[in-house]
Amino acid sequence: MQSFKGRDFIDIADFSKEEIEYILYTALELKRRLFLKQEISLLKEKVLALLFEKPSLRTRVSFELAMLQLGGKALYLGPQEVGLGKREAIKDVALVLSRMVDGIMIRTFAHSNVLELANYATVPVINGLSDLHHPCQIMGDLLTIKEKKGRLEDLKICFVGDGNNVCNSLVVASAVLGLETWVSTPPRYKPDAGVWEWAESLSKKSGAKIVYEADPSKAVENADVVYTDVWVSMGKEAEYETRIQHFKPYQVNSDLLSQAAEDAIVMHCMPAHRGEEITDEVMDGPQSVVYEQAENRLHAQKAILALILG
């Protein structure tokens, strides 16, 4: 296992199974120490720049708190300050920030922006979200499953809804770790074809089971984890009416959940559009772990930051 220090965190595919497991181990340890109120100054005097093209409650709060709790600082830069590729070239942003901060987190629309930033930056770049991947979210999700189920192996994970960036990263992580993951989306809204092909290829070596099933009732049958996300992601608002019609059969409600295992947990990366992809009854029900899942973004990202910046 190579050193984490100085590496980018752009795609879970860039890390081995052992490395992903070590990040999760570190996250659990940091969470334990926070609970015991033990001060951890692993990133003392370190500064992380937060580049936001898309707003977010959980991403901003979790990264800012992560740096604070590790003894460092975070500097928020919104679209008005930066204007990636418009007000200023991404190359120039990367080179300037690299002379002033110790790491850069970017939450953007196009995945190409993440790749270009990382290409020119001389400090680690963390993908806080792009249109293709959401790796930090999935690290928090894996942490949640591990806490709630005691393991990641020998579980059936089922993602229902839109084959978006969250779904893509879940498929990637499952292939790397050798997990069983079923994906159920309307046929025209499948996960990225390139991501799926890569995951299927790796699964032959890792022992993962990656399955697409258009019928959500069949997909969630005996599932241990039922995961959903919004049907209309930020930037796709013009497609709202069309998408809603296609996704109606994919709502995670009590009827659909009854097809899953009796002790299945329900996940949603939030923000949730209650009454669309998930009902209040399920979101607020005893099987829901969505708020623990949101909190674990903090702990997973602390681990990533501690390892690549510390």
**Annotated binding site: which residue ranges?**
107, 134-137, 165, 229, 233-234, 297
Residue 183's closest CA among 195, 201, 168, 193?
A: 168
Is 269 catalytic? The answer is yes
Q: Given 11, 141, 192, 229, which residue is catalytic?
A: 229
Q: Given 133, 268, 297, 299, which residue is catalytic?
A: 297
Token pair 């809804």 in the structure block, residue: 161
Is 111 catalytic? The answer is no
Residue 191 makes CB contacts below 8 A (sequence gap 6+) with 163, 164, 167, 168, 171, 183, 185
Instruction: Give CA–CA dist 57/171, Å, rounded.
Output: 25
Angle made by CA atoms 284, 254, 232, in degrees to the nearest 5: 75
Write out the two tokens for 236. Answer: 């796709």
Instruction: Report the 10 Å Cβ neighbour count for 258.
Output: 11
Is 58 catalytic? The answer is no
Show binding-site residues for L-ornithine.
Answer: 165, 229, 233-234
Q: Given 111, 133, 134, 243, which residue is catalytic?
A: 134
Is 158 catalytic? The answer is no
Instruction: Give CA–CA dist 24/309, Å, rounded.
Output: 16
Q: Given 137, 251, 293, 301, which residue is catalytic?
A: 137
Instruction: Give CA–CA dist 247/115, Å, rounded.
Output: 31
Is 251 catalytic? The answer is no
Angle made by CA atoms 191, 193, 198, in degrees to the nearest 5: 105
Show binding-site residues for carbamoyl phosphate.
Answer: 107, 134-137, 297
Beta strands in 103-248 (DSSP E): 103-107, 125-129, 156-160, 180-184, 209-212, 225-228
Q: Given 58, 60, 107, 243, which residue is catalytic?
A: 107
Contact in structure between 9 and 308 (CB atoms under 8 Å): yes
DSSP 8-state secondary structure symbol assigned to residue 230: -
Is 107 catalytic? The answer is yes
Instruction: Give CA–CA dist 153/206, Å, rounded.
Output: 12
Contact in structure between 62 and 298 (CB atoms under 8 Å): yes
Catalytic residue positions, numbered: 107, 134, 137, 229, 269, 297
